Amino acid sequence: MLAPPLAGWSRLTLAAALLSAAGCRVAQPTTTSAATTEATTAAAAAVAPAAAAVAPAATPAPTDVPAPAAAAKPAGPTVAEAAEAQWYLRDPQQDNVPGTGTTRTYAELLKGRTPSPVVVAVIDSGIDTAHVDLKPILWRNAREIPGNGIDDDQNGYVDDVHGWNFIGGKDGRNVGVETLEITRVVAKYGPRFAGKTRAQVPVAQRATYDMYLKAKKSYDAKRKELTEQLAQADQARTQISGLTGALKEKLGIEKLDTATLRKLSTTLPNPDLQGALASFYQGMRQMGVGDTDALLAELDNEVKDQREQLTYSLDTKFNPRATIVGDNPDDVNQRNYGNNDVTGPDALHGTHVAGIIAAVRDNNLGVQGIAASPVRVMSVRAVPNGDERDKDVANAIRYAVDNGAQIINMSFGKEFSPQRPAVEAAYKYAESKGVLLVHAAGNENHNLDLVSNFPASLYMNGSVPTTLLTVGASGPKDDENLPANFSNYSKKQVDVFAPGVGIYSTLPGNKYGNESGTSMASPVTAGIAAVLKSYFPSLTATDLKRIIRQSAQVHHTQVLVPGGDGKKADFSTLSATGGVVDLYEAVRLASQTAGAPKP
């Protein structure tokens, strides 16, 4: 599974920026110290004089981030309230924002036109099927009678009403946390190869031996990385808690919200503090939190997640699948396993992805998906908190194809693929059936011409899948930060970029929030493909790929290369097209290809 890029790093930076700006340089200790407490107090004292002038008489509801819904309206903000947050729906020409032009497209090009049904499969962690903005757009297997315990349509999957779960058991239990693929490789081949030189390994096993050595190196590096990140997340939480607590005490308020921070960032006499608070404010906006209490809750979740990853994802003896799913994970020909729970224990990622694609547009509630009804979303659960298995990915693709999906979104990835041929065969199966595959490029800020990310953008023989789009993530401004600093890129293996920073969408429990990643850029692109297929049903998967590529808006902005340590390059060199997806131009091009949409 793709790790969210805005994890501990950005939040740690926010805390460090504030403390540093107050004249207290922040090291990165692994434990709380008296110096840290002193630093937060000093920072609060530095802010306090000007802060008193802007402190609210009472604690208002946050205005910079859509406020939580009232009890009578449990689903959250109205469309009007969320419109600003959904920057990715704006138009690059009319709004001067490198969005998709979705709002303009519906108003100018598709108004009064009749869309056709389209099914988009979301292979992910699961989807909250009860979400008010998603429930109406879920795919419904009309051939299946819910809850009767019978495989009515005889497709091999019992009661698959909204999709299928390939990481669940017959008894209804689910795999939530899993190991990384590198952990599984080390666990499987360590007993055979540990301590041996290549010369000591039989020739027939040397390719596997090489894979083991590469995995072991990554495994050791990942353990070190996660240990450091956990310490930093702990430290960030402590710093922010101390600082914001001191600020609230000085201001005499119970909540420090984004509105107050924005005022502070423009009124303080110290320009360094202004900049630090502005960064803090923008960071909170990007994460979709309205006050520092919510920010601390997010950090608590992150610390928990980091500790969970360190505990389980690298444990070579941890194997929940054995007792839950009960299949043979090495048998890629085994198809009929799992259960029909398409939500699972943690549906945040998949729920967010689904909302980007097709959240209800006309209910004056929450967010607007890119694609409008009658586009439907099929949930295929195959991605745990950890690395997905090749077998499950291959079966998920085949299930989606066999049950009518015309587009498949895949917001996941990993650096090893022991059963790559099985996934490649599934790709070719989708290709043969005319199904478009849309895949996230990954969040490691790597050049994919040099580093692998699986499922791969190329077949093992070097050829390009004809119905696959690989998508990098872009930001909300056409400046040096246009490519997201976490996004993978490649002139050969990334087709396009799409909005993937601060993407506001659905969350479990009728909630909404921001997430960032190529995991968000991929469904933006899948949503565009769904609109094209819905209004121009004669378009094939290869047509969709061609139109999305050709209509992408090329940028020649000098940008910071992700992971390039300050190196700059022309944005157009970071992908095959050099562009950001544009629904408005895609619809115009589709009209030339397939004729005007039917009235």
Q: Is the pLDDT of residue 170 over 50?
A: yes
Cα angle 284, 289, 295; round to 5: 75
Q: Are residues 175 and 252 in the same domain?
A: no
Is residue 194 included in any domain, yes or no? no
Tell me the mean pLDDT in the region 169-191. Answer: 97
* Region of poorest pLDDT, from 20-24, 106-110, 277-281: 20-24
- My answer on whether 520 and 423 are in the same domain is yes
Q: What is the pLDDT of residue 322?
A: 96
Residue 213 falls within a domain, yes or no? no
Using CA atoms, how far residue 477 sits from 320, 494, 500, 557, in Å, is 43, 20, 12, 11
In sequence order, the 6+-apart residues with CB closer than 8 A to the CB of 350 are 122, 124, 125, 126, 127, 379, 381, 383
Q: Is residue 121 part of a domain?
A: yes
381: β partners: 124, 165
What are 346-371's pLDDT values in tens digits? 999 999 999 999 999 999 889 999 99
Report the CATH number at residue 139. Answer: 3.40.50.200
The region of weakest confidence among 9-18, 244-253, 270-279, 565-574 is 9-18
Question: What per-residue confidence (pLDDT) applies to 38?
Answer: 42
- Residue 483 has phi, psi (to 5 degrees) of -75, 130
Query: Is the pLDDT confidence value at 14 over 70?
Result: no
pLDDT of residue 596: 66
- Bridge partners (DSSP) of residue 558 are 570
pLDDT digits (tens, 9 = 90+) for 212-263: 999 999 999 999 988 998 888 888 888 888 888 887 887 788 888 888 888 8
Q: For 124, phi and psi rounded to 5 degrees? A: -160, -155
Provide CB contacts within 8 A for 197, sequence distance 6+: none
How many structural domains does the chain have? Answer: 2
Cβ–Cβ under 8 Å, residues 205 and 212: no
Separation between Cα atoms, residue 21 and residue 264, nearest integer Å: 14
Three-class secondary structure of residue 559 per DSSP: strand
For the ranges 199-203, 234-238, 342-346, 403-407, the lowest mean pLDDT is seen at 234-238
Q: What is the mean pLDDT of residues 287-315?
A: 84
Q: Which domain range does residue 427 map to? A: 79-179+328-594
- Rounded mean pLDDT of 422-445? 98
CB-based contacts of 219, cutoff 8 Å, min separation 6: 180, 182, 183, 186, 314
Same domain, 416 and 456: yes
- Residue 327: phi and psi, rounded to 5, are -95, -175
| pLDDT tier for residue 33 given thresholds of 50, 70 and 90 | very low
**pLDDT > 90: percent of the chain:** 69
Q: Which of 310, 341, 359 is the last residue of a domain?
A: 310
Q: How confident is the model at residue 288 (pLDDT cuts 50, 70, 90)?
A: low
- 461 and 364 both lie in a single domain: yes
How many Å separate Cα 200 from the centre of its chain? 43
Determine what percent of the chain is predicted with pLDDT higher than 70: 85
Of 378, 374, 386, 437, the closest CA to residue 414 belongs to 386
Which of 36-40, 206-210, 508-512 has the least mean pLDDT? 36-40
User: At 503, phi and psi to the nearest 5?
Assistant: -90, 120
Let me know: does 287 contact 6? Beta carbons within 8 Å.
Answer: yes
Mean pLDDT of 79-88: 78
pLDDT at 2 over 60: yes
Determine, yes or no, domain membership for 37. Answer: yes
- Taking alpha carbons only, the member of 389, 388, 387, 400 closest to residue 427 is 400
Query: How many helices (DSSP H) and strands (DSSP E) are in the chain?
Result: 16, 13
- Is 200 among the domain residues? no
Q: Report the catalytic residues.
A: 124, 349, 519
Q: What is the mean pLDDT of residues 199-216?
A: 97
Query: Does any domain span residue 201?
Result: no
Together in a domain, 276 and 344 = no
Question: What is the distance between the alpha carbons of residues 453 and 435, in angstroms, rounded to a whole number?
Answer: 21
Stronger pLDDT, 536 or 4, i.e. the higher one: 536
| Same domain, yes or no: 288 and 148 | no
Distance between CA 50 and CA 407 in Å, rounded?
A: 54
107 and 50 in a single domain? The answer is: no
Q: Which residue type occupies 577?
A: T
Q: Is residue 509 part of a domain?
A: yes
Among 76, 97, 162, 86, residue whose Cα is nearest residue 124: 162
* pLDDT exceeds 90 at position 50: no
Q: Give mean pLDDT, residues 301-322.
A: 89
More confidently predicted of 17 and 441:
441
Asked if 141 and 157 count as a contact pair (C-beta separation under 8 A), the reply is: no
Angle between helices 348-358 and 518-535 (to 10 degrees): 40
- Tokens 């139109």, residue? 547
CA distance 342 to 382: 9
How many CA atoms does the CB half-sphere of 227 hold within 13 Å? 7
Q: How confident is the model at residue 77 (pLDDT cuts 50, 70, 90)?
A: low
Q: Write down which residue in 310, 339, 355 finishes a domain.
A: 310
Collapsed DSSP state (helix, strand, coil) of residue 352: helix
Once rounded to an integer, what is the mean pLDDT over residues 157-177?
98
Q: How many CB atoms lie within 10 A of CB 112?
A: 6
Which of the four pLDDT bands, split at 50, 70 and 90, describes residue 331? very high
Backbone angles phi, psi at 164, to 5 degrees: -145, 155
- 131 with 274, same domain: the answer is no
CA separation for the pair 176, 72 (Å, rounded): 33
Same domain, yes or no: 148 and 108: yes
Q: What is residue 287's predicted lDDT score, i.e. its pLDDT?
A: 66
Report pLDDT for 235: 84
Question: Is 171 in the same domain as 267?
Answer: no
Q: Are residues 417 and 515 in the same domain?
A: yes
Phi and psi at 441, nearest 5°, equal -70, -25
Any domain includes 198: no
Mean per-residue pLDDT of the chain: 87
Write out pLDDT tens, residues 127-149.
999 999 999 999 999 999 999 99
Cβ atoms 424, 451 nearer than 8 A: no
Query: Quick one: DSSP state of residue 451?
Result: S
Name which of 45-49, 66-70, 209-213, 367-371 the model is least confident about: 66-70
Q: Do 271 and 377 belong together in one domain?
A: no
First to last CA, the chain: 41
